Amino acid sequence: MNTHHNLAIKVFTLKKNKKNNLRKVNYLGSAKRALEIESQALQKLKKSIGKEFLSVINVLSKIKGRIIISGVGKSGHVGKKIAATLSSTGTPSMFIHPTEASHGDLGMITKSDAIILLSNSGESPELDDMITYAKRYNLPLVGITSKRKSTLVNSTEKILLLPEFREACPLKLAPTTSTTMMMALGDALAISLLEKRNFSSENFKKFHPGGQLGSKMQTVKDLMHKGREMPLIESNKKMGSMLILMTEKRLGCVGIVNQKKSLIGVVTDGDLRRNMNKNLLEKKIADIMNKKPKVISQEKLAVEALNLMNKHKITQLFVTNRSIPMGVIHIHDLYRVGIK
């Protein structure tokens, strides 16, 4: 009886200790360790790129067609992201799954394209048909792998070799560090090609018309009020006419121009409040206008207009070209499209 009782106590104690041990797992420590492993690998990757990377950029920048990305498993998922980043930064690209390529999608690849193949091991047989196709039509072929002695290295004319690393996965099974390095290398290619092609924010805007990115890439010209919407009046006009104009245009300001149509000042509703008295209508416009108004050019990004308004605590800006008013933009125009 005592033996059974003691055994039961030991079993209960073991189960309790096991539960306590599970609770004591330092998940935060695990997360930080994974990030540290991958961070160190990225630093090694940074130091490893050199002449071969520049050679790849030189080849890819001369491609008249698209850059075809392919890979299987996690490398395939990374490849899709690389293709998307390249396309959105001025380098036409698309992902083709190697299995689909072997069943007809090779026909999507033209003689003007280049191919980048991703395989951590460098031994993915699914890529064989794409390698053969590239060699048959003399297409530029770039491999990204971590194994110097591999089929992929032996089969491609350009290779970007990942430095030695250990996966962040404690079981050393799940692709973690390897996929992080591949994705970072893809970003490095995209940014290098972006700069080599002189890809501008205006180009970026064309490829991102929707969402927050699209709104942030809009220019002042896209949002400004122009033509008959602009509240403009000559400095020799009467104060009453200016008040009527400000009320009609509903932008909280009036631009004051000279006979040459150059902007020489601005009157805002705040200026009116500061000068509000019984003699206001008898004053000259020039007496209350701001003779050094803040202005902006129409090529500037709309977010730059918002920054300027916030910096000087104003709510509108006249848009000028060599002192000639081209438009006016109000802070509400920016808020309306989600720029805050």
**Is residue 149 predicted with pLDDT exceeding 70?**
yes
H helices present in the chain, as ranges: 2-23, 27-48, 51-61, 73-88, 98-101, 128-136, 151-155, 177-196, 201-207, 211-216, 220-223, 239-249, 269-274, 285-288, 302-312, 331-336
| 72 — pLDDT class (breaks 50, 70, 90) | very high
**pLDDT reported for residue 210:** 58
Mean pLDDT of the chain, nearest integer: 89
| 198 — pLDDT class (breaks 50, 70, 90) | confident
Q: What is the mean pLDDT of residues 79-105?
A: 94
**pLDDT reported for residue 339:** 85
| 297 — pLDDT class (breaks 50, 70, 90) | very high
**Is residue 206 predicted with pLDDT exceeding 70?**
no
| 27 — pLDDT class (breaks 50, 70, 90) | confident
| 332 — pLDDT class (breaks 50, 70, 90) | very high
pLDDT in tens, 160-193: 999 999 999 988 889 999 999 999 999 999 999 9
Q: What is the mean pLDDT of residues 252-269?
A: 95
Domains of the chain: 28-199 (3.40.50.10490), 220-336 (3.10.580.10)
pLDDT in tens, 219-245: 899 999 999 999 999 999 999 999 999
| 15 — pLDDT class (breaks 50, 70, 90) | low
Q: What is the mean pLDDT of residues 91-119?
A: 95
| 115 — pLDDT class (breaks 50, 70, 90) | very high
Q: What is the mean pLDDT of residues 4-23?
A: 54
Check: CB of residue 273 under 8 Å from CB of residue 243: no
**Is residue 101 predicted with pLDDT exceeding 70?**
yes
Q: What is the mean pLDDT of residues 7-13?
A: 53
Q: Which of 87-101, 143-157, 195-209, 254-268 has the lowest mean pLDDT?
A: 195-209
Check: CB of residue 317 under 8 Å from CB of residue 297: no
Q: What is the mean pLDDT of residues 253-272?
A: 95
**pLDDT reported for residue 61:** 95
**pLDDT reported for residue 19:** 55
For tokens 């002189």, the residue is 198
Check: CB of residue 301 under 8 Å from CB of residue 216: yes
Measured CA to CA, the distance from residue 57 to residue 200 in angstroms comes to: 18
Measured CA to CA, the distance from residue 129 to residue 297 in angstroms comes to: 54
Measured CA to CA, the distance from residue 331 to residue 334 in angstroms comes to: 5
**pLDDT reported for residue 197:** 87
**Is residue 20 predicted with pLDDT exceeding 80?**
no
For residue 96, the Cα-to-chain-centroid distance in whole angstroms is: 23
**pLDDT reported for residue 230:** 96
73-88 helix and 177-196 helix, angle to the nearest 10 degrees: 20
**Is residue 24 predicted with pLDDT exceeding 90?**
no
